[in-house]
A = this chain, B = another copy of it.
Amino acid sequence: MSVRARPHFCSLNAAVDILSGKWKILLLWELLEQPRRFGELRRLVPGIREKVLIQQLRELEADGVVARKAFDGTQLRVEYSLTEAGVALTRALEPLTQWSLEHVVRR
């Protein structure tokens, strides 16, 4: 591996790993708009099973791109939002989105 390529390879692979998971990109996209509660995310992502949503949110949280905030009250309220790294990641995806709209959709 050319020395020049190695840092790109390791870090890019790590970023692609963070994004790999059927619903993660969509979850990031929905959270980019505004913080969301669990139930909202379930409605916005039809087809996702509760167990999978819990798992993928946990993984995004562990990867530091999503934050989980619990609010006390008569009923426990939990809100998910993008961290600063999460917002930056979703922005960094825009050129890739543009590429795929130009190259993937037309085929």
A binding-site residues for B, Cβ under 8 Å: 1-2, 5, 7-16, 18-20, 22, 25-26, 29-30, 33, 44-46, 64, 85, 88-89, 91-105, 107
Contact = CB atoms under 8 A, between A and B. Distances in A.
A1 B33 CA distance: 13
Contacts of A13: 22, 25
Give the interface SS of chain A, mostly helix, strand, loop or mixed. Answer: helix
B96 A14 contact: no
A12 to B, nearest CB: 5
In the A-B complex, the 3 residue pairs with the closest CB atoms: A11-B100, A15-B100, A92-B95
Contacts of A89: 96, 99, 103
Contacts of A12: 25, 93, 96-97, 100
B45 A1 contact: yes
Given A9-B25, A88-B99, 11 more contacts: A1-B46, A7-B105, A8-B25, A8-B97, A11-B97, A12-B100, A13-B25, A15-B97, A15-B104, A16-B16, A92-B98
